[in-house]
Amino acid sequence: MLKVGAHVSIAGGVDNAVENQLDIGGNCGQIFTHSPQVWDHGSIEDEEAAAFRDGTATSLEGPWVIHASYLVNLCTPKDGLREKSIDSMQQEVDAAEALGIDYVNVHLGAHTGAGVEGGIENAASALDELDVPEGVTVLVESDAGSGTKLGGQFEHLASVLEQSEQDLDVCLDTAHMFAAGYDLSSPEAVEATMAEFDDVVGFEHLECVHLNDSKHACGTNKDEHAHVGEGLIGAEGMRAFVNHDAIVDGEIPLVLETPTEDGKSFAWNVDRVQELRDDHDA
């Protein structure tokens, strides 16, 4: 079963995400529970949550992922920002439980002078403050690695998983990996990069992929997404990635965060991923 979908809007009610996903041909996906640029989470009405759960169970393969606010910084040495980040994450994992969502995805953030080791320690201890409901897993996302942001190296992800007392897993973003210097532009490069991930982190911790091509070259630390197969990762790299044994055998959900431009939107990219998988199977 190929699980592919996109990050869709919840405008008008979180239950609308189900229909929005179906409209683009997706069978799994991702949402924000509120504007990712503000701390205020608002509230999700019980009726909306029930309609979301029912619609998902009836119409989608799943899973869903909640993407945490962009304001969350788990690595920060600043007490005020740390507390806001922990509070925001607690609201996200609680929302996941209410919506029947398996995963909450979060970037580690920037250490802003605390250093790599200090930032990782801050992130692990912040995550340990959470009361994560049963059935919900926090995913740490790979990063493009610019400035003092952590998560660009597989070792950062592995260290947080090792140091935290939470049962954490990982979401890989193909554009972020590429920007951070992990080549995915050929079958050979995909094989080498995925082998390194398995060696450092382990495929058993891979639970989701943000499937995005990149508008910038490998190792530039520039995070700008392109349509699948039309960026600098390219069609051959994307084909090799979506058909990698770890993705296929693990039935890893592929969540698109691709742009809407050049007359192409999520629906085009969902079809493209299907074609790349079908090309391999043929």
Which CATH number characterizes residue 121's domain?
3.20.20.150
- In Å, how far are 45, 106, 244 from 100, measured between CA atoms? 14, 18, 29
- In Å, how far are 49, 189, 191, 243, 255 from 106, measured between CA atoms? 22, 26, 26, 26, 14
Residue 279: pLDDT over 70? no
Which pLDDT value is given to residue 281? 56
Which pLDDT value is given to residue 12? 95
Which pLDDT value is given to residue 94? 98
Structural domain of residue 252, as residue ranges? 4-281
Question: Domain tally for the chain?
Answer: 1
Q: Which amino acid is at 204?
A: E
For residue 47 the two structure tokens come to 């009726």
Q: What percent of the chain lies above the pLDDT cut of 90?
A: 97
Which pLDDT value is given to residue 1? 84
Which pLDDT value is given to residue 166? 98
pLDDT tens track for 73-123: 999 999 999 999 999 999 999 999 999 999 999 999 999 999 999 999 999
Residue with tokens 């190296």: 153
Mean pLDDT of the chain: 97
pTM for this model (two decimals): 0.96
